[in-house]
Chains A and B, each alone.
Chain A
Amino acid sequence: MKEKLRQVSEYIWELEKNSRPNMRVKAKIIASKRVIEEMDDAAVEQLTNVACLPGVIEPVIGLPDMHWGYGLPMGAVSAFDAENGIISAGLCGFDINCGINSIRTNLTYDEVKEKIKELVPALFRAVPCGVGSRGSLRLSPDQLDEVLTRGVNWAVENSYGTVNDAERTEERGCMKGADPSKVSRLAKRRGAPQLGTLGAGNHFLEIQRVSDIFDEETAKKWGITDKNQVLVMIHCGSRGFGHQVATDYLKIQERAVRKYNIWLPDRQLVCAPVKSKEGQDYFAAMKCAVNYSFTNRQVMTQWVRDTFEKVFGRSWEDMDMQTLYALCHNVVKLEEHTINGERRNVYVHRKGSTRSFPGLPVLIAGTMGTASYILKGEERAMRETFGSSVHGAGRAMSRRAAIRKYRGEKVKHGLAQRGIIAESTHLKILAEEAPPAYKDVEDVIESVHGVGISSKVARLIPMGVCKG
């Protein structure tokens, strides 16, 4: 499929509607030539599958971090008409509101370096990581429903954060219209004991320091004033709660596809008409998972603050541990966009993609050995990508290949030599997540900055990592 890509400008590539049968709209990929050359052909093909769905708005978008995923690639954005389109559990994926919280501090690299060997294990104890870990919160069914409907507001009222945190979270930490009655009992049973847990896989808690500031004015506005300033990043999602909501609605929407006679190029792209019960019920349940996940990361943010207080003997307010921003990477949103000069409501499906609205922060996760980025959303994203940007780098090597190639002890030692302290539930996860198993995030950032959908504000490099 890649051979059919037509380069429109330095960073924009298009796939015409006739690239394969049944495409309703064009597909567009934002990437440098180098990124395109390394891109998986199967991911490009998946993008064309999305272009076949009913009510899809031109174009379906692939971002420079695009890589193969279930049904559609990670690093993709698609928008659907709010009258005649679809809402899809398949397009959102299993980890609803997998996302990032970035917390700044006024501590310097030297101050934290002195304590890093104490700090990382303390964080590892405070924030439950890995499969088999259990949270310390015990929520009653009513309390869980509060989390699902009120999101971060619940956390604020229960001393897991402040109003400032809510204000620095996408959707103010709460998507309105979440309806717990649309969520299965099973999802709630899985979710209740897991609030305040990090999970596993590529999820992490990281201590980072600023290596570069590109846009001083914006960085200052967001509280980053110096190179070597220390920040904390939390990357995780909605845990078993969100996985179960997705699993339940994949089955429901699979039936809906038959009921409404929707043709699918891939069974995994199940969906339902926007106005149908199966579509709106999913939207209301998905919002519960979004709110759960915002709250999950907020609770852990507060535990990170508590741990810093113990290790540094100062209050978190004194260390200026404010949320820089918190946002989603996997979500469906009803948004207003300008399409062919006309304002229209559309359901934007972002999978492995960050909202990139003008002036707002965009947070990009690296891996435990590579850089993360803070970007700023730009006006151009509203015209090119339905206000969206990238989410990370994506894997270059399978987990099994990484385990064969690397040894956990050596990875840990290699990181330590570079001044990065890593803690994990077991060493194999460090081999699986070894830095060379991921693609280079720098190329990805260069593409989004180059095309102008998000601009570089600051680059962060890791100094301590907790992995599940």
Chain B
Amino acid sequence: MKNFEFLEDLKSDVIFKAYGKTLEELFSNAALALSSVICQVDKIEKKELREVEVGGEDLEDLMFNWLQKLIVMVDIDNLFFSEFEVLGIREDDITLKARCHGEQMTPEKGRTVVKSVTYYKYELRKTMEGYSVQVSLDI
């Protein structure tokens, strides 16, 4: 199974699909897809760690808030991330805990500014192999 792939749908922006056998894998892969739009992830070392907790109204909302949190962390902590350990997703109270690894951002390792996650064709679903999510980014 692929971790994520970019689709060709959007002229001005970016749309990707991420996959995971488990919810944890799905959330981790979606974050990596987003991060690979923001920076050159292969050049980002794991020098800094941020532990985060995110909540939501349902799984789709949780994913939205998680990805939005990542966009905000880039701005506020001045970090680029290259690895996301999603430690556990609780479906009863819709929360997530994760450890995000990366390094201080530098323009040379950047790619582009993501303005926001959007609801265009936004969909998280259970599949035969696990889960998938489709996400469009305004850039």
A residues sitting closer than 8 Å to B (CB atoms) are 40, 67-71, 74, 93-95, 128-134, 186, 189-190, 193-194, 199-201, 240, 243-244, 246-247, 267-268, 394-401, 425-426, 428-429, 432, 468
Contact = CB atoms under 8 A, between A and B. Distances in A.
A246 B115 CA distance: 10
A395 B10 CA distance: 10
Contacts of B78: 132, 134
A132 B110 contact: yes
A395 B11 contact: yes
Contact of B106 (A132, A243, A399): A132
A247 B68 contact: yes
B39 A398 contact: no
Interface of B: 6, 8-14, 38-40, 68, 71-72, 74-76, 78, 80, 105-113, 115-116, 118-120, 136, 138-139
A330 B100 CA distance: 34
B113 A131 contact: yes
Contact of B6 (A74, A400, A468): A400
B115 A131 contact: no
The 3 closest A-B pairs by CB, nearest first: A132-B105, A131-B110, A132-B110
Given A240-B75, A398-B11, A130 B110 contact: yes
A398 B8 contact: yes
A121 B80 CA distance: 25
A39 to B, nearest CB: 12
Contacts of A132: 39, 78, 80, 105-110
B112 A200 contact: yes
A143 B106 CA distance: 26
Contacts of B75: 189-190, 193-194, 240
B112 A190 contact: no
Given A130-B110, A247-B68, A425-B110, A394 B12 contact: yes
Contact of A268 (B9, B113, B120, B139): B120
Nearest to A94: B115
Nearest to B79: A132
Contacts of A468: 107, 112-113
Contact of A69 (B12, B72, B105): B12
10 contacts: A69-B12, A128-B107, A132-B39, A190-B72, A243-B71, A247-B68, A394-B12, A395-B11, A395-B12, A425-B110
A70 B110 contact: no
A398 B25 CA distance: 28
Nearest to B74: A131
A431 B127 CA distance: 36
Interface of B is mostly: mixed
A94 B111 contact: no
B138 A131 contact: no
A396 B112 CA distance: 19
Given A132-B39, A246-B116, A429-B112, A189 B11 contact: no
Contacts of B138: 70, 93-94
A394 B10 CA distance: 12
A399 to B, nearest CB: 7
B79 to A, nearest CB: 10
Given A131-B38, A132-B78, A190-B75, 6 more contacts: A69-B12, A94-B116, A131-B113, A190-B76, A399-B14, A426-B110
Contacts of A130: 107, 110, 112-113
Nearest to A70: B118
B110 A68 contact: no
Most chain B CB neighbours (cut-off 10 Å) among A94, A247, A267, A401: A247
A95 B12 CA distance: 14
Given A132-B80, A429-B112, A400 B39 contact: no
A395 B139 CA distance: 13
A428 B72 contact: no
Contacts of B12: 67-69, 74, 394-395, 398-399
A243 B116 contact: yes
B63 to A, nearest CB: 15
A339 to B, nearest CB: 32
Contacts of A399: 12-14, 139
B119 A131 contact: no
B119 A426 contact: no
B110 A200 contact: yes
B36 to A, nearest CB: 12
A396 B11 contact: yes
Interface centre among B9, B68, B109, B115 (most CB of A within 10 A): B115
A73 B6 CA distance: 22
Nearest to A439: B11
A426 B108 contact: yes
A135 B34 CA distance: 24
B105 A186 contact: no
Nearest to A242: B115
Given A67-B11, A70-B120, A132-B39, A201 B113 contact: yes
Residue of A71, A94, A243, A428 most packed against chain B (CB within 10 A): A243
Contacts of B40: 426
A435 to B, nearest CB: 15
Contacts of A199: 113
Nearest to A190: B75
Contacts of A128: 107
Given A132-B39, A132-B105, A201-B112, A68 B74 contact: no
Nearest to A128: B107
